[in-house]
Each structure stands twice: as structure tokens, then as C-alpha cells.
Structure 1
């Protein structure tokens, strides 16, 4: 037994160095190469710093609505609702979201509402919506801002983010970036 203790201690020290220090250094280095240098992707507008990779709450009719959040857009508590698609409480929440959306967008038919506009993501902090989710809000925004619908549609097309390497994911629109661009329209 004594001859096994020393090699076990050495192996423990080597594993601690490799798996604790080495792995941590590797992840830290990779983060520093990522956009935002590991500090998140930010935009500063009028002196306020916003994270573009975390969903923001937009409820005013003059803005594109974000995807709903199960955690009320609190990044400290990222989580989904953990309720299944047949859960009565979850279905009631989605029904309220659909009804609220239709009140603010009376020209939209219930069958035209994409799921990302009325369901929260797994993290509760998804910053993106689908192109269809943005497009069905154009009439409301055009009316409130007194802009031609074509101008708002062009803004949507200018803000479409393509899939990573053209392969991974779908086309999407970052709601924060789109709303900032909307505010900057002359």
C-alpha cells in the first residue's frame, strides 16, 4: 500500500494542474479571442451600455417586441419555465401572450403569429426573433412612428443575421440592434 500512495499523490497533483489550471487558462484564452473579449457583446447608446447577447424588454408599441422571458429578462436568473407543452398553466400563459399581441397588432391573424413571439426560450434571455416575428409587427410600428411600411421592412432586411458559417442555425434578427436602428431612422 505504501508504494501506491506516492504515485497517487503525484497523479492527483498533475491532474489538478492540468484539469484545474490548464483547462481554466484554455477557456480564459478562448474567451479573450471571442467577440467582446469575454465580457459579452455590448452596445453603448446615449451613455447606457446594453448587452446584445441578452434579451431586453421592449413593450412600447413604437418598438419591435422581444421574445417573452420566463425570468422577466433578469440575466442573474437565466431559466426557462420548465413547464411542458400540455401544462395548463403554461397554456394559459401562452394564451394571454397571444391575446396581448393581437390587441397591439390588430391586423395580424392568430394563425400568422410565429411561436417565438409568444413562447420563452430555454434560457429566458433570447435576444433574437425570427424574420416572420419582426415582419408581423411592421404595420403597428409604421402606424405609431408614422413611417412607410416599406422603410421599416428595409430596416428588417438590413438587420438580418445569417447563420454561423452559413450552416449553423437560422436567419434571425437581434431585437435590440433593430430597435436602435429604428430609433436612428430620420
Structure 2
């Protein structure tokens, strides 16, 4: 019996040490990165909102983010798992393209940025590319009765290059961009 208990206790203690060290390494890394491992919160209209979780905007005066298969529900993130040859997926993408063309009639000759018609792997991506934001300029400017140049300026102010990968495209946080639109007088 001693033959089995001693190795089991040694293995258990060894795993406690390994898992404990790993936990402290991850915790320590979380404390040195931006935001100290905490969520990115901003205040919008007096309420705290999470800027690192995608949110749905449907009104014409707001920029629209990436589509979400999980309806922006952070409790159940996920993708559709449908491939590019799946007829249901192709139909869903075509509906998104048709909707974008209807909402942005001045952009019919412009190539639609892929992040406006495809959902992210989590369904909660809070960012869009600068090109996706620029695609929506005319609609937002018209709905808010401001110049397209002013909207372009806000996109530039809210563009960030926070990617770990070098040469990755700049992105725009949709919630922060829409909050800055609401602050315009």
C-alpha cells in the first residue's frame, strides 16, 4: 500500500506546485499588461459599458460593428461553424451584403469590407477595420447632419494600432467611436 500512496502524494504535491506557479505567472502577466487584466470600461450616457465586447448598433446615426451569430451575448460566445460552401452560410452573407447596400446606397460601387459581412470567431468582436468604418461614413454623416470630413476625423481619432502582430491593419472600436459621435454638439 505504501508503494502506491507515496508516489500518489508526490505526484499530487508536484501538480499543486506546477499549477500554482502557472497561476501566479498568468496573474502576474495580467497585472503588467494594459488595463491590468481588467475589462475596458467606458461611460456612455451615464452607464458603464464594456468596450472590449461587441455590441449591436442598428440606428443609421451609429456605426455598425461586425455581425454576431450569438446576438452579442457575452455569456455564450461562439461562431456558426459553417464553411464557405454551406448554402445557409452563403445565404446569410448575401443577406448581409444586400442590407449593407440598402443602408449605404452611396457605396454601391465600393468593395464591401469583409468584416462587415462575416462574424468573428467569438461573435463578440468590438472592433472593425478602418475601411469598414469609412464604408459607413456617408450614412452616419447624413443621419447626424454633419460633414463627412468631421466623421472621418472621428474615425482617425478612434483608430488604434494595438495589435501584437506587426503590419496588422488599424482597427476602430465601434462603441468608443459611437460614444464620441454622441459627444458632438
TM-score (norm 1): 0.90
Whether 2:61 is the aligned partner of 1:24: answer: no
**Any residues of structure 2 matched to 1:7-156 within 5 Å, and which?**
7-19=7-19, 21-109=20-108, 111-156=110-155
Q: Is the contact between residue 160 and residue 171 of structure 1 (CA under 8 Å) also seen in structure 2?
A: yes
Question: Offset of 1:59 from its aligned partner?
Answer: 0.6
Whether 2:172 is the aligned partner of 1:180: answer: no
After superposition, the C-alpha distances for 1:32-86 in whole angstroms (9 at most, x for unaligned) are 3333333311112232111111101111000011110010000000101110011
Bigger mean CA deviation after superposition, 2-11 or 39-48: 2-11
1:82 alignment partner, SS class: coil
**1-structure distance, mates of 2:122, 2:146:** 34
CA root-mean-square deviation: 1.9
Question: Offset of 1:169 from its aligned partner?
Answer: 3.2
Structure 1 residues 85 and 34, CA gap change in structure 2 (3 angstroms): same
1:112 alignment partner, SS class: coil
2:105 alignment partner, SS class: coil
**2-structure distance, mates of 1:123, 1:168:** 23
**1-structure distance, mates of 2:167, 2:77:** 23
Q: Is the contact between residue 97 and residue 118 of structure 1 (CA under 8 Å) also seen in structure 2?
A: yes
Unpaired runs of 5+ in structure 2? none
- The number of equivalent residue pairs is 185
TM-score (norm 2): 0.91
2:71 alignment partner, SS class: coil
Unpaired runs of 5+ in structure 1? none
Question: Offset of 1:154 from its aligned partner?
Answer: 1.1
**2-structure distance, mates of 1:13, 1:166:** 39
Question: Offset of 1:108 from its aligned partner?
Answer: 1.1
Structure 1 residues 163 and 42, CA gap change in structure 2 (3 angstroms): closer
After superposition, the C-alpha distances for 1:110-151 in whole angstroms (9 at most, x for unaligned) are 652111001100110011111111111111111111101111
Bigger mean CA deviation after superposition, 147-156 or 165-174: 165-174
1:25 alignment partner, SS class: helix
The answer for the alignment partner of 1:158 in structure 2 is 157
